[in-house]
Amino acid sequence: MRFLLVEDNVDLGQSVQKRLAMDGHAVDWAQDLHSAQDHLGVASYDLILLDIMLPDGDGRDFLAGHRRAQRDTPVIVMTARSAVSDRVALLDIGADDYITKPFDFAELEARCRAVLRRRGGAAQTRQAFADVIFDPLSATLTIDGDTRELRNRELRLFEILVAAPGRIHSKAQLCDRLFSFAETVTDNAIEVYVGRLRKKLVGSRARIETVRGVGYRLTDG
């Protein structure tokens, strides 16, 4: 996905940009509202991640202006406040969703996906690997015209694997990305999801290989 990140805090901006890039997203980063407008003038984005307190104005005014101008790029507000009244006010002025800092990137992605799905989605998010067509937005795998639905964790697991085919992912790495840090899980918990995904891939050339003692990788054939 292509993001426009509007955040004035340099450390946080860099971290978010780097972290999203690790998951294969393209992130343009604007440090104020003025530069955000410039970016929106020359490029199109799947999503805008908007901070509220910015050096040259209030993110909420920007959001209201954005909606008044009939631009329909979805906006997720990153708010540092969590007061109930605030959340409702954000949705009222046209935010598609909001996420409270500090946030879990898995949750951010889930919210982005939910927003894009609600908005009817962009078709270019589809990916092909071997004879599998993967649509993360509708959470489906299509093999030979046969469409299979993925549960959320299966979807995220496949997304991780398909982003770097052939690369070996350790169980620990996969666990970090599939489970919330609030949960206590053993590395073996990942086996359940690998097993399920393998079932969904039955009949295709794509295979999830176990590399004994190291982890898993996605291979073609």
**For other proteins, the closer CB: 37 or 170:** 170
- CB 17 to other proteins: min, Å: 9
**For other proteins, the closer CB: 44 or 152:** 152
Residue 49 near residue 62 (C-beta atoms within 8 A): no
CA dihedral 36, 42, 48, 53 (to 10 degrees): 0
Q: What SS3 class is residue 74?
A: coil
**For other proteins, the closer CB: 131 or 179:** 179
d(C-alpha 165, C-alpha 153), whole Å: 18
d(C-alpha 49, C-alpha 4), whole Å: 6
- CB 83 to other proteins: min, Å: 5
**For other proteins, the closer CB: 93 or 130:** 93
Q: What SS3 class is residue 97?
A: strand
**For other proteins, the closer CB: 130 or 194:** 194
User: Strands, E, within the chain: which ranges?
Assistant: 2-6, 26-30, 47-51, 53-54, 57-58, 75-79, 97-100, 127-129, 132-135, 140-143, 146-149, 169-170, 206-211, 215-220
- CB 81 to other proteins: min, Å: 5
- CB 103 to other proteins: min, Å: 7
- CB 87 to other proteins: min, Å: 8
Q: Which residues have C-beta within 8 Å of that of residue 146, sequence separation ≥ 6?
A: 203
Q: Which helix (H) or strand (E) holds 105?
A: helix 105-118
- CB 72 to other proteins: min, Å: 19
**For other proteins, the closer CB: 122 or 130:** 122
Binding site for other proteins (CB under 8 A): 9, 11-12, 15-16, 18-19, 22, 53, 78, 80-85, 88, 97, 100-107, 110-111, 113-114, 151-153, 170, 172-173, 176, 180-184
d(C-alpha 126, C-alpha 66), whole Å: 28
